[in-house]
Copies of this chain bind each other. A is one copy, B any other.
Amino acid sequence: MQRKSNFRDVFYVSDGTAITSETLGHAVLGQFPIETHQTTHPFIETNERAEQVKTLVNQSHERTGIKPLVFYSIVIPDVKVIIEQSNAHFYDVLNVLVEPLKHDLQLEPEPQLQRSHSINKDAASYQDRIAAIEYTLAHDDGISLNNLDQADVILLGVSRCGKTPTSLYLAMQFGIRAVNYPFIAEDMTSLKLPAAIEPYRFKTYGLTIDIERLVAIRNERYANSDYASLEQCEKELHKVEGMFRREAIPYLNTSSLSVEEIATRLLDISGLKRKMC
């Protein structure tokens, strides 16, 4: 069976988490006008598992008549040899840069069985990250405004503008302690910065969103409610953005941004350092 020629099976293979292969593979494939079916095969640490993946790759080739694409990062030599025997195009996501680095640094690589995304790389920053996740969960959605001195960043905004996913992403990926606080309908009559946040305005940022998008998101949750009405969304956004301007709180419109983009833009405008990766 021959599928249309711009369709490719893609395999991400690693003796680690395969996160590096996936990240790079997605980014590179996004540059080409092709459709893909992607599967990920992490922790391929034995010859037996490697042979299984090789079989899957070869079956894809036989079925489609087109060589699949294999993005891989494999440290165990035997596993690597087996995978490279499959009938595919290969992209070694690490080695492709190891070679030029070797030349530029005039150093030999010392391949680590301790891979990226491993806990042992940096135990202290790993503990910081877990602590940041805990702090952020404890300060999600206005649950607590205690211990704000320990916050790295405080996010404000109306309900459903992206505060919670952004806060969690900041904690998870960057070890940042994020507080988020929602303004609700009842706050609108005399909207002001909460007194507990006032002393920390230097690390406070606003999130906002386009009216139509907020209406759509709120309707998904509570269809045809006052909460999701155009009038209510418009009123809240108008009041909250007005307060951001009045109080000189820098703010960001999240409408067309992913969580990754909101989080990295906040780091960028705040000058906060990523504490780990």
- Seen from chain A, the residues whose Cβ lies within 8 Å of a Cβ on chain B are 6, 8, 16-20, 22-24, 26-34, 40, 42-43, 67, 69, 73, 89, 91, 93-94, 96-98, 100-101, 104-105, 107, 109-112, 114-121, 126-127, 129-130, 133-134, 137, 140, 164-165, 168-169, 172, 220, 256-261, 264-265, 267-268, 274, 277
> Nearest-CB distance from A247 to chain B (Å)?
25
| Neighbouring B residues of A114 by C-beta, 8 Å | 30
Copy number in the complex reads 2
Are A260's CB and B17's CB within 8 A? yes
Residues of B within 8 A of A264 (CB): 17-19, 42-43
Contact partner of A34 (CB less than 8 A), chosen from B42, B107, B257, is B107
- Residues on the B chain within 8 Å of A260, using CB: 17, 19, 117
| Contact present for B17 and A20 (CB under 8 Å) | no
B18 touching A121 by the CB < 8 A rule? no
Docked-complex contact A109 and B32, CB < 8 angstroms? yes
Chain B residues, Cβ within 8 Å of A130 = 165
> With A32-B101, A130-B165 in contact, is A24–B24 under 8 Å at CB?
yes
Q: Kindly name the residue among A22, A27, A69, A261 whose own CB sees the greatest number of chain B CB atoms within 10 A.
A: A27
Instruction: Verify B258–A133 contact, CB threshold 8 A.
Output: no
Complex Cα distance, B268 from A157, in Å, reads: 38
Residue pairs across A and B with Cβ atoms less than 8 A apart, 12 shown, are: A17-B261, A23-B23, A24-B93, A28-B101, A32-B107, A34-B107, A42-B267, A67-B104, A91-B100, A96-B96, A117-B261, A133-B165
A6 neighbours in B (Cβ, 8 Å): 107
Task: Give Cα A134 to B112, complex, Å.
Answer: 37
